[in-house]
Amino acid sequence: MTDQGERNYPIREVVVSPRLGGTARRLEMPDGMVCEVSDNDAVDKFFRLSGTEVPGRLIDKLESKLRYVIIAVVITSLVVWGAISYGIPVLAKHVAFMIPVTVSSALGEDVLAVLDQVIFSESELGDTETEEAKVLFSRVTGTADPEYRFRLEFRQGTNIGPNAFALPTGTIIVTDELVQLIEDDHELESILAHEVGHVVYRHSLRQLIQGSTVSLVIMAVTGDISTVAVLAGSLPTLLTETYYSREFEREADKYSYEYLTDHGISPIHFANILDRMSDSGKGIGFLSTHPSVNERLQMFQRSER
């Protein structure tokens, strides 16, 4: 009934919303009229008697049983865990390698300036030490894709001690403390090869994409737009703290290992400097990664057996 009187509609042309708990059902008529009915049993009975299939009966049946709800929660949790643990990293890898080198190299151009303000101070290395390191660096980057714009920078690490960082721009930062810890040029060469591996495999970009994806998913679920602001503000940290995943560190280690063996250099040099860095007592960044130092040393030490 309406203000204009009674109206009749063919039952098959009436669209009814699925049953969901005690939520009122919405019936949409062919002429645009809408009717909401809170008696769901009456709606179901009406459609059944008319020989029309009632939509949403399966969903209503599932949600009315506690065991089905628990199963759904478990399945949903497993799907979300699988997507975050495996799906997003795979997606990030594909997306990162789809982006041209020139574009990815432009990412984070201001990061070094930020780090100079909050972490680093001016290097006090002599010209001889820096020139020798640059010769090694040229040799390491000589085998990489020429599209990358590699650059070697030196800084005092102070609180972070002997360390090395790779920015997505292709800039490799080596601290004075690390250079002073070097006992053989091949040790520094192996570290530089490891950092070049991070650039070549786009680890910073992949990490940023993964972090952004998770944050954006959280924002979509919670509606908390401040997540985006937090992400933007944490960009320098994401790019430089090198909290890389176990996979990323293994890839960079493998790049260094292959570089050393291809050039007839014993991989034990990487193991030696990594072991010495571990003994220094400071190691955020290069050593604060998921694989243990012992695990990372095994591949390089096996070559000497």
Question: Tens of pLDDT along 25-42?
Answer: 888 888 888 888 888 888
Please say whether the beta carbons of 167 and 240 come within 8 A. yes
Instruction: Provide the pLDDT confidence category of residue 290 given band limits of 50, 70 and 90.
Output: very low
Is residue 247 pLDDT above 60, yes or no? Answer: yes
84: its two tokens: 């975050």
Comparison of pLDDT for 185 and 304, the residue scoring more: 185
Edge-to-edge strands, sheet with 25-28: 15-16, 25-28, 34-37
Q: Identify any residues that bridge with 152 across adjacent strands, giving them in sequence order.
A: 172
Q: Tokens 């060469």 map to which residue?
A: 189
3-state secondary structure of 212: helix
Question: How high is the mean pLDDT of the chain?
Answer: 79
Output the pLDDT for position 301.
67
Please say whether the beta carbons of 108 and 168 come within 8 A. yes
Q: Could you read off the pLDDT of 151-179 as tens digits, one per residue? A: 999 999 887 889 898 888 888 999 999 99
Run of H or E including 139: helix 127-141
Q: Could you read off the pLDDT of 195-219 as tens digits, one per residue? A: 999 999 988 778 777 776 666 565 5
Is residue 100 pLDDT above 80, yes or no? Answer: no
Run of H or E including 298: helix 293-302
Burial 19-49 (b: 16+ CB within 10 A, else e): beeeeebebeeeeeeeeeeeebeebbebbee
CA dihedral 205, 207, 212, 217 (to 10 degrees): 140
Comparison of pLDDT for 60 and 248, the residue scoring more: 248
Comparison of pLDDT for 121 and 93, the residue scoring more: 121
Percent of the chain with pLDDT over 70: 76
Closest of 264, 249, 196 to residue 188, by C-alpha: 196
Please say whether the beta carbons of 257 and 267 come within 8 A. yes
Is residue 138 pLDDT above 70, yes or no? Answer: yes
Instruction: Provide the pLDDT confidence category of residue 185 given band limits of 50, 70 and 90.
Output: very high
Please say whether the beta carbons of 169 and 187 come within 8 A. no
145: its two tokens: 């894709």
208: its two tokens: 């940023």
Is residue 95 pLDDT above 90, yes or no? Answer: no
Is residue 243 pLDDT above 70, yes or no? Answer: no
Residue type for position 143: T
Please give the backbone phi and psi of residue 117, each rounded to the nearest 5 degrees, phi first.
-80, -35
Tell me how far apart the alpha carbons of residues 284 and 240 are, in angstroms, rounded to a whole number: 11
Comparison of pLDDT for 101 and 206, the residue scoring more: 206
Report, as an integer, the average pLDDT of 49-54: 76
Tell me how far apart the alpha carbons of residues 234 and 232 are, in angstroms, rounded to a whole number: 5
Closest of 79, 76, 192, 202 to residue 134, by C-alpha: 192
Alpha carbons within 13 A on the beta-carbon side of 238: 20
Instruction: Provide the pLDDT confidence category of residue 90 given band limits of 50, 70 and 90.
Output: confident
Tell me how far apart the alpha carbons of residues 59 and 80 are, in angstroms, rounded to a whole number: 21
Output the pLDDT for position 218.
59
**Burial (0-12, 13-18, 19+ Cβ within 10 Å), 219:** middle
Output the pLDDT for position 101.
73
Is residue 228 pLDDT above 60, yes or no? Answer: no
147 to each of 104, 106, 205, how far by Cα in Å? 11, 12, 16
Residue type for position 127: D
Please say whether the beta carbons of 211 and 174 come within 8 A. no
